[in-house]
Structure 1
Amino acid sequence: MPVYKKSMLILIVLVVAALGGTYYGLYATESEVVESLPVAQDLAADRKITVYVTGGVNKPGLVQLPEGARAAEAVNACGGLLPTADSEKVNLAQTLKDGQQLRVPERKLDGTGARSQAKDDKDLVNINTADEKALDSLPGVGPAMAKRIIEYRETEGAFQSIEDIKKIKGIGETKFAKLKDKICI
């Protein structure tokens, strides 16, 4: 076989090997990317949040839940509601966030076990559960501010104390002083 044919044959073999190696390298990289996507999704599903549940539940304390869990799941993880729990004052459909405290209030009972109808308790507006009309009835709170309060609850979660209402734009110390005896959580 002449030298130039051997050189040509070697060149063709090298070109085919280089093309094959390039094709294999590209294919192997694509399959790694495709295979890594489900793993990333599984990690997101395994993320946990820690919530502190207090008040009218059987076993108050810290619970770990999957990210995106609802308040009802946290209450169930604590053994459910006590018979004295006031479930109407907690939004069990609320989405929880890591580090949040969920307080389940208890009904005030008189000596017979019936709910006390104290005048001051009846007149308070729960800033975590009140609708726009009830919030609008508060002194210094108009329709626009009532909407901001509801929007805050939906985006940030429930108020943890009545002082948290000062986080709403337009509610400062003066307005809070007028509200504090008329609101509860």
Structure 2
Amino acid sequence: MRALVALTGAVNLVLSALALVMIVRAQEFGASPSLIGVMLALPGGAAIAGAFAAPWLHRRLRPRTVVIGSLWLWACGMAVLVWLSSPLALGAVVAVTALAEPAFNVVATSYRYALAPDRLQARTVSAARLINWGVVPLASLAAGGLLQSLGARGTLVAYAAFMVVPAAVVTALPVIRQAPRTEEIPRPE
């Protein structure tokens, strides 16, 4: 549970501020506000599609596949964004990565509920949300600083490098690699 909460917090440092970086990058290309809106709508639509697929994926894939696969998809997606020069291409790549977010969230949340005893559910949810959502303002602040000092492309390079770290760590963590399905976890007392 600790590994998933820390992991989600780290990932939120990048994913929650990515729209800001995409907007600045699209403005560098001279994109109109309408085109920027379309660029940002693509990941939103993909996330909705991913939400419909998440329960199906949760039933069919092992948790490690969803968690490790999502992290590497996000890391590779960030790396690809560095080289793109079209707002629509930016939106399309982020849309592909957004497909994984709901499935990742289902796995992380299911694990938290399965591992915590009923009497500690509220505490575990509040602690997880404090970390997972508490990083969002920090992410925006960090993105602003990175954009100011590195520009949009440099910020994407930094994000790509950052996202490789949790992906590599999670791939190496036995607690994630050997994670059973949530229905295989014995109910805590």
Higher relative contact order (CA 8 A, sep 6+): 2
Q: TM-score, normalised by structure 1?
A: 0.24
Q: TM-score, normalised by structure 2?
A: 0.24
Larger fraction in helix: 2
